[in-house]
Structure 1
Amino acid sequence: MPRILCALPARTWERIMTAELATELEELGEVVPCPQPEVLSESEYAALWLAADAVLTGWGVRPPDAQTVERLERLRIVAHAAGSVRTLPRRLLERGIVVTTARSAIARTVAEYCLLSAILLLRRHCEHLGRASAADAPASETLFGKPVGLVGFGCVGRCFRDLLRPFDCPVRVHDPWLSPVEAEAAGVIPCGLGETLGKSRVVSLHAPDIPETRGMIGTRQLGLLQDGAVLINSARGRLVDTAALTEELASGRIRAALDVTDPEPLPLDHALRRLPNVLLTPHIAGPTTDDLPELARLAITEIRRCLAGEVPLHPMSLEAYDRMSF
């Protein structure tokens, strides 16, 4: 019988697992729980990985050390019930072990957040709250037909693009890894960063947090945004120069929805918390409470397919690993 190490910390297990899904996992093999990996010694934790045919990981996972990874002979798959796998050693992939991600299950809810934010900010919803009359209300806009710019076109960017289809929005994309064939199939216009920022009424950031992208949106880039434009960041706070963004938003020239910031969380007295043109949320764009079990469901599906000799649905390549956010 295959042995399945559940390397999910107790707090993660409780968030994403249901009784039904736990039963499905148990039907695949002998499940070895590890609810408190932090209390185990290196040798004790290594022994669990070395004896596993499959490992279920997720938020808060304790990765195996380098020596353990080199000794893995039995392990066939690491199914990560979360988005970025950068917490796991790259060497797992180099050794030919399948590593899968549940980012597709996360992408749809983040895209939903982006759509919600775009509409709320264009409609000036927050500025209307508490008003007794619309007589002196600020001018609002519809999303229908508005040009949208996506900086990055990974899972979330593609999901957001799909949600925009009913609104007939022309969509520009800046992504150095987007091929012309992919752009045509998705119905988007590949552009440089400057054109994407300058010709869009709504700009949504979906680039990964890697050394090449940190601080990619600074004073010069923010200055390219149209007056009254909406900037959405549900990706990573380090993509944006916080000081420059704060200054631009304080001028009132643009509006922003920020689910991520740098630092995160922002200090309680930070200026961004007091601006009326900022929709600030505490990194909640990802899975809603009721949707969290989808992460476990997808990871269990990956384990089932691998143990049955089938091709995984969402395997990571070395190239994709290197382009994934930290």
Structure 2
Amino acid sequence: MPERPQAVLAMTDRNVPQVFPPRLLARLRACVDLDPTLVAHDFAEPRVRQALARTEVLITGWGCPRLDAAALDAAPRLRAVLHAAGSVKGFTTPEVWRRGILVSSAAAANALPVAEYTLAVILLTGKDVLAFGRPQRTRSDFPRVFPRGDIVPGIGNHGRRVGVVGASRVGRRLLELLRPHDLAVTLADPYVDAAEAARLGVPLLPLDELLRTSDVVTLHAPQTPETRHLIGARELASMPDGSVLVNTARGALVDHDALIGELRTGRLRAVLDVTDPEPLPAGSPLLGLPNAFVTPHLAGSQGNEVARLGRTVVEEAERLTSGRDLLHGVDQDELERSA
């Protein structure tokens, strides 16, 4: 049996048992030589540096220290970084690719719960749950139940127009999840052409047209200098009365001051799982406006979902050690257009 490559964990140590529950950890240790009690949060720490000297595989996750030249110099045998989370932008550097180190990410696995959250939001806002489900409603004229046979006008998901901004991993998973529902879905993405949109089964529109013609606009674009405040005052003003903005991507895609101005008029609604800054300051109007619903960046993998990230890494480690290509390799050139 070939010798297992040396591996080190680099992530927030309290997350390790969640990402790698016992059965997954056993699978991982079957293909790499790993000490689960050694978790790196500082590559300069003496015990970590000693381990890095013989490390071939780095198992990373949320809280991984930055892989700069000094860290990589301490790991001269390193040949692969397997990331048990989404984006690798926060800790990788160009030096990683310059040295020919393979990088893999569980971003595809993390995309599923975000897409599921977004689907749920789209369907629930179609029933105007933000208004009808708000528990602090105390007006005597506010309905506690709709009498049988009554029809509530202006709500529902039949033929509702959903505009997806960004054919990212999450955007593409969302398109799949939306397909069985009786919705009219469109896509805006400058990197997608008509042929690819046809393969995705969705009409491709310019962003301005998508905004003007959607009852729900859901954002799935990466944060780059070009996408900062992608949705600003002009874009928000073009959205139809009563429409909903959903953001599960990055807070900086939306000009929050402009959004607050629109929300204060009561014309639009917003569901925000990400904000700028994050978290919002205690006095932010977004936390008090009745037509804004803010969740604390929970759309991504949480609870039992994080084991899916660990399983992705274990499967990548098994491929690596058996000489097969990685399934979820990260291309440096694609990083600029990804989350």
Which structure has the bigger radius of gyration?
A: 2
User: Deviation digits for residues 22-78 of structure 1, max 9, x if unmatched?
Assistant: 111110121034655346636654443341121100100012331343575422211
- Matching residue within 95, 99, 105 for 1:101: 105
Q: Does 1:10 align with 2:10?
A: no
* TM-score normalized with structure 2 length: 0.89
Is the 1:238–1:261 Cα contact (8 Å) retained in structure 2?
yes
Quick one: distance in 2 between partners of 1:116 and 1:265? 23
Unpaired segments ≥5 residues, structure 1: none
1:126 paired residue number:
130
State the percentage of identical aligned residues.
37
Q: Does 1:217 align with 2:231?
A: yes
2:115 paired residue number:
111
Q: Secondary structure at the match of 1:149?
A: strand
Q: Secondary structure at the match of 1:189?
A: coil
2:140 paired residue number:
none
* TM-score normalized with structure 1 length: 0.93
Q: Secondary structure at the match of 2:293?
A: strand
Residue 9 of structure 1 and its aligned partner are, at CA, apart by 2.5
Residue 170 of structure 1 and its aligned partner are, at CA, apart by 2.8
Quick one: distance in 1 between partners of 2:223 and 2:317? 28
Moved more, 49-58 or 199-208: 49-58
- Matching residue within 93, 99, 121 for 1:89: 93
1:259 paired residue number:
273
Change (3 A) 1:83 1:39: closer
Quick one: distance in 1 between partners of 2:167 and 2:43? 40
2:80 paired residue number:
77
Is the 2:41–2:63 Cα contact (8 Å) retained in structure 1?
no
Change (3 A) 1:26 1:148: same
Unpaired segments ≥5 residues, structure 2: 136-142
Is the 1:124–1:138 Cα contact (8 Å) retained in structure 2?
no
Q: Does 1:29 align with 2:32?
A: yes
Give, as a single letter, the amino acid of the residue that structure 2 aligns with 1:132: R
Aligned residues: 325
Residue 323 of structure 1 and its aligned partner are, at CA, apart by 2.0
Q: Does 1:56 align with 2:59?
A: yes
Give, as a single letter, the amino acid of the residue that structure 1 aligns with 2:254: V
Is the 1:249–1:255 Cα contact (8 Å) retained in structure 2?
yes
Quick one: distance in 2 between partners of 1:321 and 1:285? 21
